[in-house]
Each structure stands twice: as structure tokens, then as C-alpha cells.
Structure 1
């Protein structure tokens, strides 16, 4: 893989990460609720799921998954159900300003945030199909494939982290000026609806 090919992949991956999706909604929602630190904890789960997707693609299961309507639909409906559950939970959550203190005193613990992020990304069939179709086009078959997959995989994760942290920082800037119970309740409802809409979008997604 040449430098120019890698730079092209870098730009393409960055643009893909910038496209609004469930991961971005989760990042912004957590940043508005509890600041950048809370969003960063959630981001660990999001990236662990991406690593799982990358591993699936590298060992060849991505192509098998992409060609199996049953596997695709199963993951799609599981993902839609989970997003719907998160949306309803977020919509119905009551907040007070005291709840939105630093993460150490917040009601949501580290593992819950990581788990939430992990399953949001894990049960997104679009990600697996995209990586299955996308990664091989940047490989040089005359060079060691494992090394190239490692470089591309690290690039995907790092760029997604950079993009999501930028979303989190921007949301945190807004949060500083909007930290009141009325806004927090409103944003919980807005993001709850967005999670539900993302679930509906997944259901409508065709193989």
C-alpha cells in the first residue's frame, strides 16, 4: 500500500465517520448529558464494536454475512430493537441539574456507558457491509495482507475517535450555556426520538 492510497483511505474513512448515525447521536447525547468525559467513556464501547467488525471482515466472515439475508436481517432487527429501547429509555428519563455533575457522581456507571456504546455499533449491519466492500479495494495483493489490514484497521478506529471527540467537544461547548433542567429534559426527548428513528431506519434497510 502506497502513501497516496493510505491518504485516500484516511480521507474516505474520516468522511464516513462524519456521516450522522447512531454512534454520533450517542456521542453527542452523552456529551450534552455529562460532558466530554462521559462521551469518551461511551466512545470506548463504540470503538470496541468497530474492532469486532474489522476482525469479522479480516477473517472473511464479512463476505459471508453480506451474502446471507438471514444473518443481515437478524442483526438488523436486533439493532433496531436495541435502538428503540434506548430511545424510549432516554425519552422517559427525568433529569435534574444535580444529576448532571461530573461522571464520578453520576447515576450511570462506566460499564453501562461502554456497554451501551458497544451494542449500538455492534448491531449495525451497515458497518460490516461497508467495511467488507470498502477495505479490500485499498489492499495491495503483492504485499503482506495482515500488515495492511492492521494499518487500515488502526486508521478506521483512530479517525472515528478523532471525529467523535470533535462532536463531543462541540456538544460540550453548547452544554456550558444550556445547563438547566428544561434543556436537559428536552434534549433527552430529542435524542430519544432520534434513537427510535435510527431503529426505524435500520428496519427499512434493504440487504
Structure 2
């Protein structure tokens, strides 16, 4: 596939708008920050890989026009929306009702998830977010130059550029949260309340996803 980009002015506007949106934390960012605090920077980075693997899927569906089908079908939108919300709430409930870790073992007391599970959870969280698909459907075409032709290729190219910018901003969030988490995981008070913080965070994200209209990634 040949990459087709709009002119420099449109491209500059796209990058500026994309960075402004990405720097405002949405559900995916809050999710990876929670993972980074819980388990460190590596866990945050693996979660980012899962999140953006799903982002690439959404970009492909936008380029192929499948997002239009999702936007036009209230039933399809509702099914995907509530499935994603239910998954987040389930993660929160699982965290709340997990056994309380011992307080004498420091960071190792927190449950550690495998890289595969971190990747899978990040992928599902973003895959089952229909607002991501609708965002690409509404945002990317604004920067497409019809005169260049290959509209689907332009949408795909802009989507990949958005994903690359997202990797940069999300990595910054994960690194900062991982540093903070290193201190928090050694704090006895944090170990006592960590499961409540994380559990209610995931449940809150799920409720937000179920009730909110179009919003950030």
C-alpha cells in the first residue's frame, strides 16, 4: 500500500490537533496509568502495545468503511459499547474481591500479571470502545484531500500517524506513572488501599464508557 499524505499545512494541523487530543487523558490513558502504578513501567508499556494494536484495527475498519456501519446501527453500537463497559467493570470487581496482599513484602505483594494478560486486557479495553471507531470516522476525514485520490489510503495513513503519536504520548504517561508507582508500591498505606483504588478506577471507567457520549480515546 502506497502512503498518501495531504499537503504540509493540513498535515501540520492534523499533528497539532492529534497531540492536543492525545495529551488530554481519556479512558485508555487512565487504564494504562493504573497498570503502570500497579506493576511498573514495563506493564504499562505492554498495555500500550495492546491498546494500540486495537487502535490499528480501528484505523483499518475506518479506512474500509466499517465504522460507518457501526455508526449507522444503534444496536451494533450498543452491543459493543456495553460489552466494553462490562469488561472494565468486571476487571474492577475482580480487583476489589481479590485476596488482600500481605503488607510485609513490599512491591512483590501486589498481584503481577503476565505480559500476555496485560497485552490482552489493553487490546480488549480499546477494541470494545466504539467511541474510538467513531472518533476515527469523524476526525480523520477532516484532513483528507479528495483531490489526491485514494481516500481510504489517506485515512489509513493518517490513522497510523495518529497511532504513532499516541505511542509517544502514552509512553510518557506510562513512564511517569511507573516512577510514581515505584514509590507507592513501597508505601504500606498504598498497599492497603491499592486494590480499592484500582478496582474503583476500572469500575468508574466502565460506568463512564456506558453513560458517556462521544469522547476521547
Q: With structure 2 as the length reference, what TM-score do the two structures score?
A: 0.85
**Alpha-carbon distance in structure 2 between the residues aligned to 1:38 and 1:182:** 22
CA shift for structure 1 position 19 = 2.7
Correspondence for 1:169: 175
**Alpha-carbon distance in structure 2 between the residues aligned to 1:153 and 1:111:** 25
* SS of residue matched to 2:101: coil
- State which of 43, 49, 52 in structure 2 corresponds to 1:44: 49
**Alpha-carbon displacement from aligned partner over 1:135-179 (angstroms, at most 9, x marks no partner):** 111101111334423431221111111111111111122123322
* SS of residue matched to 1:142: helix
CA shift for structure 1 position 96 = 4.8
Q: For the Cα contact (< 8 Å) 1:33–1:184, is it kept in 2? A: no
Q: For the Cα contact (< 8 Å) 1:99–1:107, is it kept in 2? A: no
- 5+ unaligned residues in a row in structure 2: which ranges? 1-5
Correspondence for 1:15: 20
**Alpha-carbon displacement from aligned partner over 1:25-60 (angstroms, at most 9, x marks no partner):** 221111112211111011111001111111111001
Query: Which runs of structure 2 are paired with 1:1-207 in the superposition (5 Å)?
Result: 1-93=6-98, 94-96=100-102, 98=105, 100=107, 107-143=112-148, 144-178=150-184, 179-206=186-213
CA shift for structure 1 position 92 = 3.1
**Alpha-carbon distance in structure 2 between the residues aligned to 1:26 and 1:95:** 21
Q: For the Cα contact (< 8 Å) 2:10–2:143, is it kept in 1? A: yes
92-101 or 151-160, larger mean C-alpha shift = 92-101
**Alpha-carbon distance in structure 2 between the residues aligned to 1:37 and 1:107:** 11
**Alpha-carbon distance in structure 1 between the residues aligned to 2:92 and 2:23:** 21
- 5+ unaligned residues in a row in structure 1: which ranges? none
Q: For the Cα contact (< 8 Å) 2:64–2:152, is it kept in 1? A: no
CA shift for structure 1 position 74 = 0.4
**Alpha-carbon distance in structure 2 between the residues aligned to 1:122 and 1:205:** 17
* SS of residue matched to 1:108: coil
Q: With structure 1 as the length reference, what TM-score do the two structures score?
A: 0.89
Q: For the Cα contact (< 8 Å) 2:89–2:202, is it kept in 1? A: yes
CA shift for structure 1 position 206 = 4.7
**Inter-CA distance 190–66: structure 2 relative to 1 (3 Å threshold):** same
Counting matched residue pairs gives 203
